[in-house]
Amino acid sequence: MSVSGITSKPLPIPGSPKPGIGYFIREWWGSYPVTQLAVLIGLIGIFWVMGSNMVQTMHRLGIQPGFAFLSQSANFAIGESLIAYLPSDTFGRAAIVGLLNTIAIAVSGCFLATLLGVSLGIARLSGNMLLSGLVRWYIEIIRNTPLLLQLFFWSAVTHALPAPRQAFNPIGILYLSNRGVSIPALRLHELSLTTLAISGVCIAAIFAFYMVRRKRGIQHGITEFSAMGLLAVLGIGLALRLSGASVALELPLLRGFNIAGGFNLTPEFAALLIGLVVNSSATIAEIVRSGIQSVPSGQWESARSLGLQPGRIMRLVILPQALRVIVPLMTSSYLDLTKNSSLAVAIGFPDLVSVLNTTANQSGQALEALAIIVLSYLALNLSVSAVMNKYNKRIEQRGFLPR
């Protein structure tokens, strides 16, 4: 229970015979075995009572526990979806639609928040008083107001855009209205396995070429990379031509009530994305600032004495060292952003929580829906953590004994 209870434990003396079974039992129980037992029994008791209460209530209400409802028809429509979805599809598919929407927000949010946050963090340390002052105000205002309020603000901003019939249409192909942003989209027609196979082979060949050259120690510059990119595009073009598939540009057009065609980014998605990015960028800016300031000033001075320019000092000397401080904190920012995306429910974006709340409400399986939400966020955040930890391993200080 107390810290001293752990540290004052007798450690096995090196070289002495292996500790017996008794040692392990004592180790496990700690210094207060009776208390441990009481707490354990208490905990089991609480969960037992809660569980039996739940089962009883469900039985009384006549609710069948289980996940069978996921294969029943959902019957409600969802406003935006990355995969095809109709009201006649199942609750399970609806949940996947919600999950994909959440992932889309989380991934694009983390990416954009990093770009904005890092730039703001560096700007905060700028010698230009106006710039650093502005950034400071930005950070203070964003960090000290509730995220939900900010989301309502962005939602109001996106809704204040003109109606579709009076849409802002600067260059003829881009529509900005209170129905969102519509831009031309590339549509593939008659896509077949052959197309995919040929393009796959082309890209694999280019990649293999690159790897072989890299093994030989050849440096790749911007020219080589653009050449390879061009080759890849040509390869895909060839694949489309050979397999009879075609690419067409679909332009957004005002039709009836809405702007139809093209790729549409809804105001709800935009409001949520802007809200989350702006909010996280303030935190990330502070993380980046503290990371940079954690690098000893001697590093700046020695880099400057080598004749490096300020931009290169930042990029080559300071940031690589600052990253060791920044990355672990950044992980928690990403996790926050992912979890905060559940506020989407308030501004009408059909994310995981919104879809599953409706599912719970229409099917009556509230606990199951809750379990799916919990497990999905857990899986999502654990994967973010895993990726970030892997990256952290790569950049952490080397040449020291592991701590």
Partner 1 sequence: MRAEKNRPHGWRTKIAAGLVAAATLFTGFAHAGPTLDKIKQRGTIKVGVGTSPGFFAPDGSGKWQGFFVEFGRALAITVFNDPDKVEFTSSSPQQRLPALQSGEFDILLSGVTVTITRAFKLGFHFGPTIFYDGQGLLVNKSLGVTKGSDLDGATIGVQSGTTGELNIADFFRKSDHKFTPVTIEDSNEFLKALESGRVDALTQDASDLALRRTLLKNPDDYILLPERLSKEPLAPAIAAGDDRWLEIVNWTVNATIQAEEFGITKDNIDTFLTSEDPAIKRFLGTDPSLGEAIGLDPKFAYNIVKTLGNYGEIFERTIGKGSPVGFERGYNQPWTQGGLLYSPPFR
Point out which residues pair with 120 in neighbouring strands. Answer: none
> Tokens 């920044």 correspond to what residue?
326
Q: CA-CA distance, 362 to 71, in Å (whole number)?
A: 14
Q: Between residues 268 and 286, which has the closer beta carbon with respect to partner 1?
A: 268
At its nearest, how many Å lie between partner 1 and the CB of residue 211? 46
CB of 387 to partner 1, least distance (A): 31
Q: Which is nearer to partner 1, 64 or 226 (CB)?
A: 64
Alpha-helical (H) ranges within 12-90 are: 21-29, 33-61
**Which CB atom, from 77 or from 378, has the smaller least distance to partner 1?**
77
Question: Between residues 143 and 255, which has the closer beta carbon with respect to partner 1?
Answer: 255
Report the distance separating Cα 81 and Cα 351, nearest Å: 10
User: CB–CB of 268/347 below 8 Å?
Assistant: yes
Phi/psi of residue 141, nearest 5 degrees: -65, -45
**Closest CB 115 distance from partner 1, rounded Å:** 28
User: Helix axis angle, 319-340 relative to 91-124, nearest 10°?
Assistant: 140
- For 100, the 3-state DSSP assignment is helix
CB-based contacts of 369, cutoff 8 Å, min separation 6:
356, 357, 359, 360, 363
- In terms of CB distance, is 166 or 192 closer to partner 1? 166
Closest contact distance (angstroms) between CB of 103 and partner 1 is 19
Asked whether 261 and 250 are in contact (CB, 8 A), the reply is yes
Distance of CA 105 to the CA centre of its chain: 7
Query: What is the end-to-end Cα distance of the chain in Å, rounded?
Result: 25
Q: Say how far apart CA 206 and CA 203 lie, in whole Å.
A: 5
- Following DSSP, what letter does each residue of 115-180 receive, concatenated? HHHHHHHHHHT-S-HHHHHHHHHHHHHHHTS-HHHHHHHHHHHHHTSPPGGG-B-TTSS-EEETTE
Could you identify the residue written with the tokens 């940079």? 292
Residues that bind partner 1 (CB under 8 A): 2, 4-5, 7-8, 31-32, 34-35, 38-39, 41-42, 45-46, 49-50, 53, 56-58, 60-64, 75-79, 87-88, 152, 155-156, 159-160, 163, 178-179, 255-258, 260, 267-268, 345-348, 350, 354, 357-358, 360-364, 366
Q: What are phi and psi of 158, to 5 degrees?
A: -70, -30
Of the two residues 125 and 345, which places its CB atom closer to partner 1 in the complex? 345
Closest distance to partner 1 from the beta carbon of 248 (Å)? 22
Measured from the CB atom, the residue of 75 and 194 that comes closer to partner 1 is 75
Shortest distance, position 208 Cβ to partner 1, whole Å: 45
Rounded least distance, CB 82 to partner 1, Å: 15
Closest distance to partner 1 from the beta carbon of 3 (Å): 8
Nearer to partner 1 among residue 95 and residue 323 (C-beta)? 95
CB nearer to partner 1: give 326 or 372. 372
Q: What is the CA radius of gyration of the chain?
A: 28
Give the SS3 label for residue 295: coil
CB 41, min distance to partner 1, A:
8
Which one, 279 or 354, has the nearer CB to partner 1? 354
Tokens matching residue 59: 């039985």
Q: How far is the CB of 190 from partner 1 (least distance, A)?
A: 24
Question: What are phi and psi for residue 254, nearest 5 degrees?
Answer: -75, 120
